[in-house]
Amino acid sequence: MSMTQSYNQKSLRPEFQAALQEALHHFETPFYAYDLQTLRSRLTQMQQAFPSAEIFYAMKANPRLGILRRLLEWDVFLEAVSLGEVHRAYRAGFKKTEVLLNGPVKTPAILQELAEIGVPILGLDSLADTQRVSQLLPGSRVLLRVNPDLPIATHDHLATGRGESKFGIMPDDVEKVLAAARRGNLEVLGLHVHLGSALSHLEDYHAGYAVMEQLYRQHGPFQVLNLGGGFGLDLDPASLAPSAIALAERLGAELWLEPGRYLVAEAGVLVSKIWGTKHTRRNFMLLDAGMMTLLRPMLYAAEHPVIPLYKGKKMQVWDLAGPVCESGDILARDVQLPTPKEGDALAILQAGAYGSSMSSNYLDYPRPLEILWNGLEWEVLRRKQSWEALFADEI
């Protein structure tokens, strides 16, 4: 958070911005608002870059049923990482053959419940995972996740392909786990690698692909090559596609991808109102959204562009403070914005991914409203959480 951010560096689709202005008359802030057309065009970019790939949207990025149902209509499958996400995927209408469940820990209770609701394709993350699945869900279709042991360049919390991370099977152990899977009557579709998230260096992908190529030559052939997600917002999928597609062709495997952020981040904004300003040694705007609504700035020092939904003359540099009693509850720093009046609103951009899905009820703030602009009207995807819902599970 170093450089002063000028608010006009990023913009929204004008029709969507006009719809947002109008939404302010009807809906209480804070709320998440999504633009269907942007979602559609991000998906189209991905599908055009990778025409031969099967896309498993990483639903952790944004799991609203209203979004999942659209993606189902558009022939996208889902990548899930918890039992709850599998339930949600089925509720949205996906079949078990259209859902891939990854994740490093699958307890016996989870596997038993999967047997009842329908076993999706399983991504196995360790020998223990493989042994348990072959014991409790023999016959499952699985992929083995590899840890490529590479120095992936991204935030420490987001690098999964480093040898130090908890994910995947080290290349030297693949043979042993593969043998266990086959002995255990699992149908091994192929290997999987997910290098990390918010990646912007093509070299990291190329290094990951090289590891996969070597493993396929050593242990293959396999039906599927799953190269994961992680595409940073500024990474053009078309620049990566030729090498990924060529690799899958050389290996005679179907290419699977798991993008999350790339599809939904730009399609969503967090809208918040400013309820005052104050001046300590810094200039603060006081917002009704905070770390409970959008955790990424606090957790990863993530920088989200901000645009005002009001007009004002005097420009100043501001920090955007949330209402939470923690000094770290700052949604953006050093943003250049016009001086607001009480009740003016602003939009925090690139909030469609890992915004709502990581929001919390900290301090008993209800989950915010989420709405989707479909080109004609606002659809409510999730209403603001009620007090009853907030307290319902406590006896």
Minimum Å gap between C-beta 241 and ligand LLP is: 15
Minimum Å gap between C-beta 56 and ligand LLP is: 8
Q: If binding means CB under 6 A, how many residues of this protein chain bind ligand LLP?
A: 21
Q: Which of 197, 272, 293, 350 binds ligand LLP (CB under 6 A)?
A: 197
Q: Which of 258, 266, 344, 370 binds ligand LLP (CB under 6 A)?
A: 258
**For the residues of 358-370, what is the DSSP string, one character each?**
G---GGGPPPPEE
Say how far apart CA 394 and CA 388 lie, in whole Å.
10
Chain CA centroid to CA 323, Å: 25
Q: Are strands 306-308 and 315-321 parallel, antiparallel or unpaired?
A: unpaired
Minimum Å gap between C-beta 353 and ligand LLP is: 6
Q: Which is nearer to ligand LLP, 140 or 273 (CB)?
A: 140
Q: Binding string, 85-124, against ligand LLP, x = CB under 6 A?
A: -----------------x----------------------
Q: Which of 30, 171, 190, 259 binds ligand LLP (CB under 6 A)?
A: 259
Minimum Å gap between C-beta 317 and ligand LLP is: 25
Closest CA to 327 of 274, 369, 282, 379: 282
Question: Does residue 208 belong to the site contacting ligand LLP (CB under 6 A)?
Answer: no
Spatial CB neighbours of 351, under 8 Å, sequence gap ≥ 6: 32, 265, 268, 269, 270, 294, 304
Say how far apart CA 122 and CA 139 lie, in whole Å.
11
User: Would you name the residues annotated as active-site residues?
Assistant: 325
Spatial CB neighbours of 245, under 8 Å, sequence gap ≥ 6: 50, 52, 53, 255
Closest CA to 61 of 197, 228, 260, 194: 260
At residue 283, the 3 state secondary structure works out as: strand
Q: Which is nearer to ligand LLP, 163 or 276 (CB)?
A: 163
CB atoms near residue 277 (< 10 Å): 16
Q: Which is nearer to ligand LLP, 284 or 300 (CB)?
A: 300
Q: Which is nearer to ligand LLP, 162 or 194 (CB)?
A: 194
Q: Binding string, 311-350, against ligand LLP, x = CB under 6 A?
A: ----------------------------------------
Enter the tokens of residue 220.
Answer: 């293959």
Q: Are strands 378-382 and 306-308 parallel, antiparallel or unpaired?
A: unpaired
Q: Which is nearer to ligand LLP, 60 or 132 (CB)?
A: 60
Per this entry, what is the length of the chain?
395
CB atoms near residue 87 (< 10 Å): 13
Q: Binding string, 148-187, against ligand LLP, x = CB under 6 A?
A: ----------x-----------------------------
At residue 371, the 3 state secondary structure works out as: strand
Angle of the 108-117 helix axis to the 127-136 helix axis, nearest 10? 50
For ligand LLP, the binding residues in 37-96 under the rule CB under 6 A are 58, 61, 79
Minimum Å gap between C-beta 59 and ligand LLP is: 9
Minimum Å gap between C-beta 354 and ligand LLP is: 3
Kindly state the DSSP code that residue 74 receives in the 8-state scheme: T
Spatial CB neighbours of 124, under 8 Å, sequence gap ≥ 6: 130, 133, 142, 143, 144, 145, 177, 181, 186
Q: Which of 70, 296, 333, 367 binds ligand LLP (CB under 6 A)?
A: 296
Region binding ligand LLP by CB under 6 A among candidate stretches 37-45, 135-143, 225-233, 309-317: 225-233
Q: Which of 198, 271, 335, 381 binds ligand LLP (CB under 6 A)?
A: 198
Sites of contact with ligand LLP (CB under 6 A): 58, 61, 79, 102, 158, 194, 197-198, 228-231, 258-262, 296, 300, 354, 358
